[in-house]
Amino acid sequence: MDIFEAIKNRRSIRRYRTDPVPPEVLGQVLEAGRVAPSAANRQAWKFVVVTDAAIRQELVPACRSQQFVGQAPVVIAACATEAGRKWNQVDLAIAVDHMTLAAHGLGLGTCWIGAFEEEAVRGILGIPEGVSVVVLLTLGYADGPGRPPSRKELGEVVCYQRYS
């Protein structure tokens, strides 16, 4: 799949089939995150992979009761191991975006979850003090297509030389 095609056609998926994600496919998605660039190549991250149905269900209330979090076969918690560093969010956004594009190329759907109670997620997943949860990512085979989002025209979001 062409990278530009993947970027344009990837959608947030909130309905998943119950089919498990094969370990080798999950490994490819995780590898895409592992090789992502990071500030000073620090790779200050850890990815907590949750496939256990009971634990995924525990996460639902911590994610504003978004039921699809419990229904997705996989939830990945992208964690910054150097808490309080400004670049953590950027580094993990790059890594998770690599994962979402890899997943799309492998026929999987994903959805970024930024609306969650971090302390609750940390408690459920046993994430220690000093490690922050930056984003959760649901992963699985889509149960139907995602909705194509509307996008502004390039001229509305780009300016040259100075902000205008």
Q: Which domains does the chain have, with CATH numbers?
A: 7-144 (3.40.109.10)
pTM assigned to the model = 0.94
Within 10 A of 38 (CB to CB), how many other CB atoms are there?
A: 16
Alpha-helical segments (H) within 42-140: 53-62, 68-71, 88-105, 118-125
Query: Position 9: which residue type?
Result: N
Which tens digits make up the pLDDT trace of 37-89?
Answer: 999 999 999 999 999 999 999 999 999 999 999 999 999 999 999 978 889 99
Q: Phi and psi for 118 in degrees, rounded to 5?
A: -60, -45
Candidates 15, 22, 13, 17; CA nearest to 106 is: 22
Question: Distance between CA 112 and CA 123 in Å, rounded?
Answer: 20
